[in-house]
Each structure stands twice: as C-alpha cells, then as structure tokens.
Structure 1
C-alpha cells in the first residue's frame, strides 16, 4: 500500500469515528424535557413525567419522536414522604394522563409501569 492510500485510509477511519461520536451526541439531545418535566429513557422508549397537583402527564417518545399513546396503558406510583398514591394513566393523544388531586413536589419519587404493544417498561423519576 502506498503512502497516499494509507493516509486516505486513516482519514476515512477517523472521519467515521467522528461521525459516530457526533451521532451519539445527537442521541443525548433526545433526552431533554420538551414539556417541562423529568425525562427517563428506557430500552422501550423515553418517558417525560409532568406532575402537577391536579394533573399527571406521561409523555411517550421513541428516539425523540412523539408516540401514539392510544394503545398504551399505565400505572404510576407516587411516593411523597410517607404518602403513597397509585394513579391509573389513560391515553390522551401522545401521552398518558390522569386528573385529580396529587401530592407532588420537589423530591417526590414516581415509578411508572407502561405497556405498549405487548411490551412493558418501567421508569423511575425524582421530581425537581
């Protein structure tokens, strides 16, 4: 192999590595909250929990793209101090949602169990 071919091969290999690194960074951007909540990625999908005293929303995303939640079902367990509250989440567009009265605030922990298309994912959150 001549020197010019060797240099070209090395440049091509480095360019591929740089591209892969850049793509990985882009994937990290997909985990930013889009609705003011807390994001937790899982193998199945990413979840963004928006928890307010009168409404709980769990947004579903697939690699940064909103998902159709019409066939999804979920349950959320809220742990605030010694209080434990179970919440059934129902489809509402691209999210699962529940309305009512919820004890949520900074430090509240939440565990979501969501089933979509026969697959189940669990996500844990700590509210800020």
Structure 2
C-alpha cells in the first residue's frame, strides 16, 4: 500500500527545512530528521508527512527501491504515533539494505521513542 499524497513531503524547500531545523536521530540503518509539529512553530497543522532519501551507497536500484518501500511502510504503519503536522525525512544508510524488516522497525520505534522523550523534556523545561 502506498502513501497518500497528503503524507508525502515533496518540495525541496520543505525537505531542506526539515533537515536544517529538525532534530536528528541516528540509528544503525538510517538517520531520522524530525521537525516538530506546527503548533510548536506557529504554522497551521496538517497530517504528518515523510520524505525518504536512499543514496547509491545502499546498493543497486533494486535494493534502494526495496529500502525506500520498507521505510515508507514503517511511516505508514506508525502514522498514528506522530502528532499532526510533524515532518520527517528518513535518510537511509548503507546498512539499511542488509537489515531485516523487523530490525528496521525496532530501530524506527527506538528513534521515535527517543524523539518523544526529548520532546517531552523540552516542553517541561519551558513550563518551569
């Protein structure tokens, strides 16, 4: 199943903004760039969106496309865990082509967990 167009981050300017302003979370198979939900930045909230970047270091075109499909599926599967308006850019590392889907999902869950933990701490720091 593919991502709906409203969940795709397509414009180069939007992707560059997420990469520069978003939080970086490193995993063995990918780097996750997450830009906070718009209610924190003053923009109007829309659905969570994702862009997936897979370089040639990952492998052949067949391998890169498989990694891209897997990463998009992880986003689709965990869409409900993301606040509205959250933008993600997932940049695959060379390791991504050699990792099983279950391990990729575990890494994705850990990365989202780390983001949620630091996001909660930042919000509590602002209230004190």
Q: So what's the TM-score if we normalise by structure 1?
A: 0.32
Q: Which has the higher contact order (CA 8 A, sep 6+)?
A: 2
Of structures 1 and 2, the larger Rg is shown by 1
Which structure shows the bigger proportion of residues in helix conformation?
Answer: 2
The structure with the greater share of residues assigned to strand is 1
Q: TM-score normalized by structure 2?
A: 0.32
